Amino acid sequence: MPDPTAAQLVRMKYIDAIMITRGAINRDQIQKTFSVNSPTASRDMGRYLDAGGKIDYTPQRRQYERRYHFSSLYFKTPEEAEEWLKSLYTVYGIFTI
């Protein structure tokens, strides 16, 4: 798989930040936050998993949830992830909190 584009990398970091701070995410959140279609959001989730994201899909809740031994791919602490999420508004005009 080729390296992610800048936009894909931002979405993967978003997935990671949501997982470390909230513990779960679904495709709809990615679609609404970044105005992307369902196939794009699915590819982003797949790319995150391929990169080593320790998450599992829970069909009953229709969301991805972090595994017991989850570790962030991009952030050292939940606080760092939270700050990055806040910065999305400043840099991209994306409101996430």
Domain coordinates in residue numbering, the chain: 6-92
Contacts 24+ apart (CB under 8 A), 25-33: 25/63, 25/64, 26/62, 26/63, 26/64, 33/94, 33/96
CATH 3.40.1030.10 fits 6-92, yes or no: no
pLDDT at 2: 80
pLDDT-based confidence at 3, cuts 50/70/90?
confident
pLDDT tens digits, residue range 6-57?
A: 999 999 999 999 999 999 999 999 999 999 999 999 999 999 999 999 999 9
pLDDT tens digits, residue range 43-80?
A: 999 999 999 999 999 999 999 999 988 999 999 999 99
